[in-house]
Amino acid sequence: MLTGHYPIEPYSSNDMKQQLGCLMQLFVLAILPMLILFQLEFGFRLIVMPVSLVIGVVLFSIGARLREP
């Protein structure tokens, strides 16, 4: 018998949403600058940057909504 052993409480769905939102925002903030550096170094079609920015803004907004309590 284990003394002082407490069961681990499961995450609530609100905690999971906040963590997912935080990870989404972190992902966007990490990927967009790397995408800019990749564009400057190797170059690709002009339409890729605005489309990437719109996708990044949408993902960041969804992440912000998920983080709201």
Residue 49 lies in a domain: yes
The residue that leads in pLDDT, 36 or 3, is 36
Residue 11 lies in a domain: no
Residue 57 lies in a domain: yes
For the chain, the maximum distance between any two Cα atoms, rounded to a whole number of angstroms, is: 66
What residue numbers bound the domain in which 57 lies?
A: 27-67
Say how many residues make up the chain: 69
pLDDT score of 2 = 56
7-22 pLDDT tens trace: 666 667 788 889 999 9
User: For residues 32 and 58, what is the distance between their CA atoms, to the nearest angstrom?
Assistant: 13
Average pLDDT over residues 41-64: 92
Residue 33 lies in a domain: yes
Domain count, the chain: 1
Residue 10 lies in a domain: no
